[in-house]
Chains A and B, each alone.
Chain A
């Protein structure tokens, strides 16, 4: 069951992408009874949200379903080393998504 992504969507601001990703993360976190977690740009996937890597595979599927094949989380992660993955923040993912969608706005530093 897949939804067809809207390829004609206008450029999305980092704030919208952050809100989208936060919603997806809350769904994943709901399994752990943590769906009230505060999610911000500097929130770390592993240290703050305690997500397992298999949870990030689920998130990867959600991202692709929402934004289409332009977003390839696995490809993005494969460019990072282990330390970078351990300390990966929501904001870094937002920046990656925004860059793929063609917007110049950054969420980091907010």
Chain B
């Protein structure tokens, strides 16, 4: 093979990683269509969008960098309270600006705690992330004068978006807002994971020893993605506050971090859509189960988790594989793993 065709081949293969599959386009078209097609369901759709963004943030660190976090709610809650306080005290009245500010605040927290997850084993990371979330909850509880304590943050008023769109009780504005934020942040995340940086994360996740031996500054990259993911989680939390005009200690609950893991596991980690698909499935399931047994639905969630692990996560989430295989076949340019290995002995 002479160099020029190989050059073209390499170039196109590297570029193919970031091409849009038709299914992706279909997904987002369908999502935008729900604005008009399902106006009565906008409230739950908003919740799904927020949960999806939250799950996306976890996917960035779990699916792409291999960091197991049991306290991701820390950043969600931090962003939630930041947005609430900004609105309540009239510091930043434009919701979008407050959203950005809350996300940045969560990023700062993420950066500050990132060094805690660099060292140690999976167990240490679980412990530390759990600890950070618990500490934050305690702080929020303790400084009830600021946060409203167990009663939650009262008197949060969200001014109309761009001064034009009032947050109505049917959730129309809320949904368009949340979906818009989700889409924009998703596009950015997509850019990130398909970049050289994103590739280096996969390397770190797969073999950190080798990654360092290739020249990748492992710790610096992990800090970077952890910070970004914290920002995403913070934005999700801020969205929750802004769309419900309320923030309570439950944003820091362990349940939230645990449910989030389940959401990501249902959809599958490591391809960005897992969190979104998982959010849809989880919320619908929760809605259904709550209507059956309002108080005891955590039992069924627990049962699902146990079953999921016993059956094997791979087999459980293999229901998404046909979808992914279909996507691969539709797009001839991305024949991942289907390259024929020539027989040895040439």
Q: Is B a genuine binding partner of A?
A: no
Contacts from A to B (Cβ < 8 Å) = none
B-side residues, CB < 8 A to A, are none
